[in-house]
Structure 1
């Protein structure tokens, strides 16, 4: 039983169904109705320092290629690479240090002098000190990816229960999972996967355990359709620091990318304001100004719409993946913050390995859901 029909839940259902398990997916809304539907579709290794998350990202990079071979253009997979740029020499020094550490973990990072940036991105602003090209970065259309992963899971026998809210997790007298209750009845399952994204903490609470998932709001601007004037995923060096920050305050850093359909997507903002969906004009102005500073050609381009979503934030910036030792049969696959789309395949495959009692490809210890006692006690 998978709770959540976003891209992470879809990946869990996909790999579990391929492994021969009987799978049901339950979501109170439609497919990709939460964070997935508000994502840009980033599949990044460029923003991750060496450690468990980068190992997960590199594993997922390989799996996304396999998925793309199966699903083809339907998920708009683009292995277009990323370009991280710095305005001055201090920023370049920081990027060099970061890239050296990443290379030791298997990341391809190629320094690009300022004078050669226009070979990769002809419309970049002049005068930048340089940057680093990350050929392993890619992009998908996240809602399409979730939908087609679930379609493939259904072809392998999975069943979807959309528009059905989980109201409880049933357990046996010994505490092991028995199934779930919903607003329509009850569903039996010896294992429940919590892939509820930003609402993962609420689902964990239904099983009587604490998982301190918090929403971190972000906005994205969508321009009018354009010729392909932005070739890569392009962002400024301070984006990496924003991703790693635990601050609740507003942070914005330019992230610009083109799409196969024509519109340019502009992010990224981060702030912890609960589930407040108020449209912030200040954030939109900041994003537009930062994007135009990187790509002056965008200054006169019309923004057609803006959308917002909530990243599922955990205090140490690592997701919760795997069996919860506090409740036998309960598994978690949530808390990926802004990296959930990129990390979805690895998360799903690792969950399926546990469900079928096979050895996971990665050590799941850093992702244990019971690691937060220090955070919840403070």
Structure 2
């Protein structure tokens, strides 16, 4: 589920105070860089932090305000509960263990006042109300445990001890104590504050219009709305817009937007919802491959007492229209899971776009069709949770270091570079 936090004004104020734009527009007068990162969301920020920690001269460019795209529409979940065994889970486990160490290092470097991200290990609870769904949930949790996930199966009656307002219709429940949460915009701007403190540069309001190449086809710079910037490498961290950016660079990439919508309730008494709670069908919804609307109940409280209700997934391009049918489906699913929500007013609804790939894995690494162009995108609804490990992996590969996990499942080559080599292939597969 991708959502906007309820404390929009406070968050924006903290973001503005935390990282100041460097102000020269990012054009030719600003000089070159070892690496230009396109996109200031949490994934781009994590890449910039990891690269500057290795001494790279980094320039972060964004056409909008800092972390104002998909990151600003995220509730900040760091989850392993929804990941099946495989490379996606391995990346999630690496990132989940890395986030607290990274945040501690940022506090040491910047001071506590500039690196507080509301990090909380609140745990997750996945429930099923039907017997077939319960059996599937138990099997899923058993496979996760074999892969090192702390997945604790609960007797149906014990779920109420974790969530007193949960429906009594629960037939199976699994508690995931490792699941955590942080404030995504504060996380991104804390990372960018460290980048700037190390000499990195950050420019907002600058649109990157193309990638410049040398005679050998290698990326040697970017063209922007305010001039040319020479560089040694370019990182495509454009989130849902990464496919468009890659296509403009001559290397089509199967990343498209997948829309999500969330409801925000009026504030409720503390403890009404204690964990991130979702129906067992959520994981299957997230893994779905078709473009049709998918809805599964996901319920979570914020520190301000409001309750966030999702989750929906639909591939409909960049259509941002809020649909009454989607809002109604979300409300009904949440009330079935938490009957207490049935009479609670909804203050507002938000929508956002996730960067979707056909195999539900991110793309991380250098593009062999355009040496010097790197991708860090395609995380769909898990970018905030996966950002810490993604940034580290990209920086390790850029620096020629041994990677902390196998990078092969995330390379662009898995889609077939022969097919990816033309824009026509992207259009035929509905990517653009």
TM-score normalised by length of structure 2: 0.85
Give the one of 160, 173, 179 matched to 1:137: 179
SS state at 1:265 partner: strand
Cα deviation code 1:107-158 (max 9, x no counterpart): 1100011110111111111121120001111111212211121112211221
Counterpart of 1:40? 75
SS at match of 1:344: helix
Map 1:183-332 → 2, pairs under 5 A: 183-228=225-270, 229-332=272-375
Is 1:88 aligned to 2:130, yes or no?
yes
* Aligned counterpart, 1:148: 190
Counterpart position of 2:28: none
Separation in 1, partners of 2:242, 2:130? 41
Provide the secondary structure at the position in 1 that maps to 2:328: helix
Calculate the aligned-residue CA RMSD, in Å: 1.4
Residue in structure 1 matching 2:61, options 26, 46, 58: 26
Deviation for aligned residue 1:334: 0.4
* 1:68 equivalent in alignment to 2:110: no
- Please give the alpha-carbon distance, in whole angstroms, between the structure 1 residues aligned to 2:140 and 2:352: 29
**Shift in Å, 1:220:** 1.0
Distance between the aligned counterparts of 1:291 and 1:151, measured in 2? 38
> Which secondary structure state, in structure 2, belongs to the residue aligned with residue 234 of structure 1?
strand
Q: Distance in 2 between matches of 1:139 and 1:267?
A: 16
**Which stretches in structure 1 are left out of the alignment for 5+ residues?**
none
1:201 and 1:275 map into 2 onto residues whose CA distance is 12
Are the equivalent residues in 1 in contact too, given 2:138–2:172 (CA < 8 A)? no
Gaps of 5+ in 2: 1-35
Give the superposition deviation at 1:272: 0.7
2:355 partner SS: strand
Deviation (angstroms), 1:226: 2.3
Supply the distance in 2 between the matched residues of 1:127 and 1:199 (Cα, whole angstroms): 41
Q: Which residue of 2 aligns with 1:53?
A: 88
- Count matched residues: 378
Matched-pair contact (CA < 8 Å) for 1:76–1:260: no
**Aligned partner of residue 157 in structure 1, secondary structure:** coil
